[in-house]
Amino acid sequence: MRWDKVAVLYTVETVIDSEGNHSESKGDESTVFANVRNIGLDSWAAARNLGLHADASLQVRSPEYKGQNRCEVDGVEYEVERSYDTGEYTTLTLKRRLRNGGAA
């Protein structure tokens, strides 16, 4: 299989300090090859009905995805809304982050 993108998968956790201030901590980062998948109108509508925000979809090799909750592709940061493992490949449904022009 040929891959058309390079994605950075990582985990972001919210950390609360002793004074109650919230900050984000980035960890478990890995760079993987990925294929952009088209989101058809039916799939987009089905995702919306489930309360998901399907802005993009990527396919990665399943052993390379370790449950990370963020993804960056072409300089755009996404949240992983959903992952679907089919054995060899995992499809990630992505939601664009607000600071990168995403919708609320």
- Helix (H) or strand (E) holding 48, with range, is helix 41-49
Structural domain of residue 50, as residue ranges? 5-14+22-100
Structure tokens at 83: 């992952």
Quote the mean pLDDT of the chain: 83
Q: Which CATH number fits the domain that encloses residue 9? A: 2.40.10
> pLDDT for 52-92, tens place per residue?
566 788 999 999 999 999 999 999 899 998 899 999 999 99
| pLDDT for residue 104 | 45
Tell how strand 22-37 and strand 56-61 pair up: antiparallel
Euclidean distance between CA atoms 97 and 24, whole angstroms: 14
